[in-house]
């Protein structure tokens, strides 16, 4: 049987890892696929000539569009990243009848609906396992392994940079800015870390997971996003005293009113398995009605872990090259004419519990005034701790844990508390989830 011919776009970290895995494990991959898989052509503006296996690529150039126009290419692997020209290249490859494998979560989250529609029309596959959680096979688990389940919720640590920062803050009592600088020095964070620390990268991934879990269109613009840059070392320490750990979670939940899609710092009980996922590792917790809670853990980034997912997708596509397009696993798990227009809830309608840190004047009646505001908004308090003030400070840190309440009510209460003359600065609010199975 003729080998499957690959056109590879991008020879950076993941591209180089993909070449390494495809060439180093070529015999094993051929045994699984039933035919040889060969990189016939690659395009990159620059690359490391020491990448293992480069000498086995048929042709390396810098014209990515020439690769997607090559009639000999069966599968295009897009590892350029970003929105453009990745979108144009993928759509052109599809129009030319080529299958596509991509690790580009931003592209899928923003333009996936358009791309999948084009792929259905042409009868080709677009595979994107590496777009979420690197080498962790969470997309395959949702599309196939958990297909019998009514998915109730997903909670994931899906950005390793943010998890590394919060782990260092907890374990060593360090400040956010200090750990961020180290993350940049180690290569975990970019020079501009906005996508990682402000939750945009995680929101791209959560958008994809939400669509796979609930059969809704990709709607990145409706995903609530909040970063970790306001988290202080004292918040991490206070959470620990109360039996919690702070993680930057992506949460997708089905409720009676619609779908929640939200990325934000979250207090989790310290005994939960996902609360003990540290460093740059990723983990996704999925609750299905039949299977219960299942946890998927592993490396969320890096050359070889991500290449593992890319090559697994290539292998899957190679297996179905001769199969009936109508009988393949749907791109977003549900048949395209069964995608449901369930509303994504605005954050003000989401219900959760809260951690609040308030800098309040240390005098009689202040606590009662704050409690009165919370009570008038229907917010009940589970626990209160008053910490010692710093030397010379007239305000004390007041730590509160609330029961579950709608975010809109909490927003109104926080605005009223911040307006008090006895309260200094902004109220620090971190959402809480028990993630109970």
Q: Which CATH number goes with the domain that contains 285?
A: 3.30.360.10
One domain for residues 178 and 129 = no
Q: Whole-angstrom Cα distance, residue 357 to residue 36?
A: 59
**Is the pLDDT score of 325 beyond 70?**
no
Q: Round the average pLDDT of the chain to a whole number and report it.
A: 94
pLDDT recorded at residue 327: 58
Helix 160-172 to helix 176-185 angle, to the nearest 10 degrees?
130
The larger pLDDT score, comparing residue 207 to residue 392, is at: 207
- The CATH number linked to 419 is 3.30.70.260
Which of the four pLDDT bands, split at 50, 70 and 90, describes residue 341?
A: confident
One domain for residues 121 and 256 = no
pLDDT recorded at residue 324: 61
One domain for residues 87 and 214 = no
Q: Whole-angstrom Cα distance, residue 244 to residue 341?
A: 36
Q: Whole-angstrom Cα distance, residue 76 to residue 129?
A: 15
pLDDT recorded at residue 1: 77
Element housing 241 (H / E): helix 233-241
Which of the four pLDDT bands, split at 50, 70 and 90, describes residue 319?
A: confident
Token pair 């600088």: residue: 181
| Residue 437, in any domain of the structure | no
Q: Closest Cα partner for 321 from 127, 149, 178?
A: 127
Which of the four pLDDT bands, split at 50, 70 and 90, describes residue 63?
A: very high
The larger pLDDT score, comparing residue 320 to residue 10, is at: 10
**Is the pLDDT score of 323 beyond 70?**
no
| Residue 346, in any domain of the structure | no
**Is the pLDDT score of 30 beyond 70?**
yes
Average pLDDT over residues 99-119: 97
Which of the four pLDDT bands, split at 50, 70 and 90, describes residue 394?
A: confident
One domain for residues 82 and 146 = no
Average pLDDT over residues 304-313: 96
**Domain extent at residue 150:** 138-299
Average pLDDT over residues 211-232: 97
One domain for residues 49 and 153 = no
Q: Whole-angstrom Cα distance, residue 167 to residue 419?
A: 34
Q: Whole-angstrom Cα distance, residue 197 to residue 166?
A: 10
Q: Whole-angstrom Cα distance, residue 27 to residue 37?
A: 9
pLDDT recorded at residue 209: 98
Q: Do residues 101 and 78 lie in contact, with contact meaning Cβ atoms separated by under 8 Å? A: yes
| Residue 345, in any domain of the structure | no
Which of the four pLDDT bands, split at 50, 70 and 90, describes residue 338?
A: confident
One domain for residues 57 and 197 = no
Where b means 16+ CB within 10 Å and e means fewer, 23-51 reads beeeeebbeebeeebbbbbbbbeebeeeb
One domain for residues 111 and 209 = no
Most confident range, picked from 47-56, 185-194, 425-434: 425-434
Which of the four pLDDT bands, split at 50, 70 and 90, describes residue 399?
A: very high
One domain for residues 49 and 173 = no
Which of the four pLDDT bands, split at 50, 70 and 90, describes residue 118?
A: very high
**Is the pLDDT score of 392 beyond 80?**
no
- The CATH number linked to 327 is 3.40.50.720
| Residue 125, in any domain of the structure | yes
Average pLDDT over residues 43-64: 94
172 counts as catalytic: no
pTM of the predicted protein model: 0.93
Q: In a 10 Å sphere around its CB, with 0-12 CB exposed, 13-18 middle and 19+ buried, how is residue 233 labelled? A: middle
Q: Do residues 14 and 22 lie in contact, with contact meaning Cβ atoms separated by under 8 Å? A: no
**Is the pLDDT score of 322 beyond 70?**
no
Number of structural domains found in the chain: 3
One domain for residues 103 and 128 = yes
| Residue 344, in any domain of the structure | no
pLDDT digit string, tens, across residues 168-185? 999 999 999 999 999 999
pLDDT recorded at residue 271: 96
| Span between the terminal Cα atoms of the chain, in Å | 48
One domain for residues 320 and 293 = no
One domain for residues 176 and 261 = yes
DSSP reduced 3-state for 160? helix
Catalytic residue among 92, 105, 205, 247: 205
One domain for residues 168 and 292 = yes
The larger pLDDT score, comparing residue 18 to residue 325, is at: 18
Average pLDDT over residues 14-26: 96
| Residue 288, in any domain of the structure | yes
| Residue 343, in any domain of the structure | no
Which of the four pLDDT bands, split at 50, 70 and 90, describes residue 285?
A: very high
């Amino acid at each position: 049987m003729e080998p499957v011919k690959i056109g590879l776009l991008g020879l950076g970290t993941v591209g180089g890892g993909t070449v390494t895995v495809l060439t180093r494990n070529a015999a094993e991959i051929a045994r699984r696929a039933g035919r040889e898989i060969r990189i016939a052509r690659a395009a990159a503006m620059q690359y490391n000539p020491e990448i293992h296996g480069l000498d086995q690529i048929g042709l390396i150039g810098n014209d990515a569009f020439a690769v997607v126009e090559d009639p000999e290419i069966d599968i295009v692997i897009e590892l350029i990243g970003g929105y453009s020209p990745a979108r144009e290249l993928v759509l052109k490859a599809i129009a030319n009848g080529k299958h596509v494998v991509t690790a580009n979560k931003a592209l899928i989250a923003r333009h996936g609906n358009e791309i999948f529609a084009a792929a259905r029309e042409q009868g080709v596959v677009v595979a994107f396992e590496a777009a979420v959680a690197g080498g962790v096979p969470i997309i395959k688990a949702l599309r196939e392994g958990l297909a019998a389940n009514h998915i109730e919720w997903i909670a994931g640590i899906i950005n390793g940079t943010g998890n590394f920062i919060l782990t260092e803050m907890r374990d060593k009592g360090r400040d956010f800015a200090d750990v961020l600088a180290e993350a940049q020095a180690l290569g975990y964070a970019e020079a501009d870390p906005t996508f990682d620390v402000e939750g945009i990268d995680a929101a791209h991934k959560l958008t994809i997971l939400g669509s796979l879990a609930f059969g809704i269109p990709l709607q990145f613009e409706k995903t609530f996003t909040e970063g970790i840059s306001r988290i202080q070392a004292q918040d991490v320490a206070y959470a620990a005293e109360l039996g919690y750990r702070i993680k930057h979670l992506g949460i997708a939940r089905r409720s009676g009113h619609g779908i929640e899609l939200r990325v934000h710092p979250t207090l989790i009980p310290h005994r939960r398995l996902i609360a003990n996922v540290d460093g740059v590792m990723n983990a996704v917790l999925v609750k299905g009605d039949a299977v219960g809670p299942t946890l998927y853990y592993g490396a969320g980034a890096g050359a070889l872990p991500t290449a593992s997912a890319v090559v697994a997708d290539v292998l899957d596509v190679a297996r179905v090259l001769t199969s009936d397009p109508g009988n393949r696993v749907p791109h977003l798990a549900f048949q395209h004419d069964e995608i449901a227009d369930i509303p994504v809830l605005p954050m003000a309608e989401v219900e959760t519990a809260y951690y609040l840190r308030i800098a309040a004047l240390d005098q009689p009646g202040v606590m009662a005034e704050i409690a009165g505001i919370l009570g008038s908004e229907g917010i009940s308090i589970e626990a209160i701790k008053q910490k010692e003030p710093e030397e010379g400070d007239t305000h004390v840190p007041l730590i509160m844990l609330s029961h579950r309440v709608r975010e809109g009510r909490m927003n109104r209460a926080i605005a009223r508390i911040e307006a008090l003359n006895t309260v200094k600065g902004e109220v620090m609010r971190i959402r809480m989830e028990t993630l109970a199975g």
